[in-house]
Structures are given as C-alpha cells and as structure tokens.
Amino acid sequence: MKTFSGSARCISVDLPGHGKSMLHGEKGAGEKLRLSLEIIADLLLKLIHHIAPAKVTLVGYSMGARIALYMALKFGTATKGAVLISGSPGLKDKLSRKIRAAKDDSRALAVITHGLQLFVSSWYSGELWKSLRSHPHFNRIIASRLHHDDMQSLAQMLSGLSLGRQPSLWEDLPNCRIPLLIMHGEKDTKFRKIAQAMMNALFTGLGSNHDKGSDIHEVVEVPNCGHAAHLENPLPIIAAMRRFVARL
C-alpha cells in the first residue's frame, strides 16, 4: 500500500472475523451468524459502491484471493482487474468439498475449545508453510496472529468460508473477461499446478483469441518463497502488480 498510495487510492479491508471488523448480518439457525463466500462478496460489493466512484482492482491472498476471484467473475461491472496471490477457484468434486468442510468445522471448534495459540501452532506446522517457517521473522509473524480476541467470529469465518463450502469456480473461468494476475511462490508446488490449470481454463474460453490470452491474464512465479509469497518476497509481487495496474 505504501508503494501504490502515491498514484492510487488504496482501500484495505479487514474481512469479517479478522482484524477489528465486527460481524453483523443475517442470523441462521439459533443465534449463529450465517456466513458464506457469497455473503462476504456481496458485503464487499456494497462497500465498493459506497466508497469508490469507479471500478476497482482487487488484491487478495489465499482466502482473500478466492473472494477476489469470485467478485471478478460475478461482479464485473465493479471490477477492473484482480490480483490473486496463492488463490484457488475451489475444489472440483463434491466428496473433496465435504471432507474439507468437515476439517474446517473441526478447526473452528478447536479455536473455540482450545484457543488461538494451539490453533495457530497446529496451522503453521503444515507442509504449506515449510518455506515460511524458515523466514527470519517467522516468530514475529506468528506473534502478530495471536493479537485477536474474538474467537467466535474467527471460528465462524473458518467454517462458513471453508474451501469445502465455496462453490467451485472452475467452470466459470472460461467466461472470465476481467484481467487476472495470478501469483504463486516458486516453492509452492501445489499452487503452481493450480495456477497453470487456471490459465488453461481461462485460455479455453478465449477460443480463436487463445494467443491473446497472455495480454489479458498473466501468471507470475515469485522466486525464493512458498505459499505466503507476499510476506516472504514482496518486491517481485510489487513489481508485477505495478506492471499489471499500468496495463489496466
């Protein structure tokens, strides 16, 4: 944001259950607030219309990238382009979604039952974060994650925005006409494959304009980093974003 604020208006949003944002909205069964990708995207669309006079370029990481992609596909009239860092269009088959939803429900329950310290320790012990664990500021990054006292809201986000409950966006990709900048870490083999599959799907929708696909969409591999590319090696991300925004 420091880089771009001299030439663009930067709006940073804490998603519900994150930072100091508050959860308000429609109640589902009992007193539990019902959350979903669609509800959050609609909330963000209302926010954009309220504070931005023109189309915006969305930038999201991981869950934020999923939301940004959904908005680019569904709300093209408000979106100029989308930068997706370590993002996925979702899980293709129902069984995988069912298993992932159950896992995230278990994680949400663990946050409520055992607190954030245990959840964070367990979360960052996974293979996805192997590269981040070797970062010189890893302990400081983890400590910053613990400055959060609304466990209920965080648990609701974990469950409601689970990859298992997100509608698969793979079939929508061929119809995408909003420019996408898809970024992944060099060491993040899982999301490298996802990024390539996304580009294949995007190019499928271009038909005879297949060769022009690289003028609309782009994949950038960020060197010397894993899944948390924006934390591990931010400068190449800034450079790619600068080119992308200038092109838009």
- Residue 210: band (very low, low, confident or very high) from pLDDT cuts 50, 70, 90: low
Rounded mean pLDDT of 136-150?
87
- Burial of 68 per CB tally in 10 Å (0-12, 13-18, 19+): buried
Range in 30-44, 136-150, 161-175, 212-226 with the lowest mean pLDDT? 30-44
Predicted pLDDT at 212: 56
Segment 144-199, tens digit of pLDDT: 888 877 888 889 889 999 999 999 999 999 999 999 999 999 999 999 999 999 99
Predicted pLDDT at 211: 56
Cβ–Cβ under 8 Å, residues 23 and 49: no
- Burial of 213 per CB tally in 10 Å (0-12, 13-18, 19+): middle
Q: Kindly report the pTM of this predicted structure.
A: 0.91
For residue 81, pLDDT over 60 is answered with yes
Predicted pLDDT at 184: 98
Rounded mean pLDDT of 113-138?
92
- Going along the chain from its start, the domains and CATH numbers come out as 37-247 (3.40.50.1820)
Distance CA 128, CA 64 (A): 17
- Residue 48: band (very low, low, confident or very high) from pLDDT cuts 50, 70, 90: very high
Mean model confidence pLDDT for the chain: 90
Query: Structure tokens of 67?
Result: 């939301």
* Residues sharing a CB contact under 8 Å with residue 207, sequence separation 6 or more, in sequence order: none
Segment 17-29, tens digit of pLDDT: 787 776 655 444 4
Rounded mean pLDDT of 73-78?
94
